[in-house]
Structure 1
Amino acid sequence: MLIQILHLGQAALAVYGGQQSYTAIQNLLKYEEKAKKLSKFSNEAERQLHKTRTTMTSGAVSLLVSLLVSLLLALRGHTYGFLVRLLSSPVMLVAVYSARSHIQDYWAASDGRTVGPRIPVKKLEGYNEAQRRTEELLGVLEWLMYTWGVTALVAVAGDY
């Protein structure tokens, strides 16, 4: 019973993270055309555009997979074999950690915790909001890592 509650909590956390990710992506899309135009003239702008896309995609995919796996384990985990129940949480922990690290390596400032300075420039409100949402997304992914670690320990203890 405990493991099902934990997995449902993970699903809720993934949904919340998905909302943050969706909002960040929508705000970044406002600048997509300008970024594409710049990338034609600058290799650095092209690299930045590519990194922005890949980091946001990795975050969204990790949240979606976390949602699906946590729901499957919460609702049907008892029907899966012992090995699936035992290995799913550590695998998800590594997957979420990888996505979070990928995002953090690009978006986080030198302190490694926050998403850099938010410059309140009138024409960049959407970008500033995307930064704030990305910072929130990093926090959600961190909590998801913790919960996957806890569910791994609970699975080892045999509570399914």
Structure 2
Amino acid sequence: MATALLSILHALQASFSAYTLYLSSISIRNLQKYEETSKKAAKYSSIAEQQLHKTRTTQASGALSALFSFLCSTTLALYPIFSSRVGIIGAVLVAGANVAALEMARQHVGAFWKGKAKVPLPGVGEYNDAISKTQEVKLNMVYLVASWTAVGVVSLVL
């Protein structure tokens, strides 16, 4: 019973992590459309260079934390035998590692993208969409943190 419940929870996590990765990929793809312009600006401005670097690193940290969540939850959902082999301590450690990775990435993404306003000009729709998708990725990381916390608690209780 406990293994079945955890498998279902991990399958739901895997699905939501995959969706978050999808949103992240859209955001990254949309931002890459402005990459050449950003690189040119970075040649002449240290601020533009810093912004380009932070844009890249925040997008990468969001995507990598969602990928880590996806890989862990998929492994645990598809191979319940693995869950029983790692035991309670292992399950709690995996949950804790995911909580830590997702929360650090969420704070990293949030610190940079919080102050980014959408540009009310024609021709920058993809940039504005990237901002929206990034905010959605950040929100999804909150849900993933909650789900990994719940899985850790369930692992301890069951």
TM-score scaled by length of structure 1:
0.90
CA RMSD of aligned residues (A): 1.2
Output one character per residue of 1:87-121: Cα deviation in whole Å (capped at 9) or x when no partner.
11011101100011100000013xxxxxx432331
Contiguous gaps of at least 5 residues in structure 1: 110-115
- Counterpart of 2:101 in structure 1 is 95
Equivalent position amino acid for 1:140 in 2: N
User: Counterparts of 1:147 and 1:81 in 2: how far apart (Å)?
Assistant: 19
- Counterpart of 1:49 in structure 2 is 52
User: Counterparts of 1:4 and 1:79 in 2: how far apart (Å)?
Assistant: 14
SS in 1 for 2:124: helix
TM-score scaled by length of structure 2:
0.92
- Counterpart of 1:117 in structure 2 is 117
Please point out which of 69, 73, 76 is paired with 1:73: 76
Query: Normalized per residue, which structure has more helix?
Result: 2
| Alpha-carbon distance, 1:84 to partner | 1.4
Output one character per residue of 1:111-145: Cα deviation in whole Å (capped at 9) or x when no partner.
xxxxx432331121110010011011111111001
Aligned length: 152
- Percent of matched pairs sharing the same residue: 37
SS in 2 for 1:48: helix
Moved more, 22-31 or 77-86: 77-86
Contiguous gaps of at least 5 residues in structure 2: none
Q: Is the 8 A contact 2:106 2:142 kept in 1?
A: yes
User: Counterparts of 1:119 and 1:48 in 2: how far apart (Å)?
Assistant: 16
- Counterpart of 2:90 in structure 1 is 84
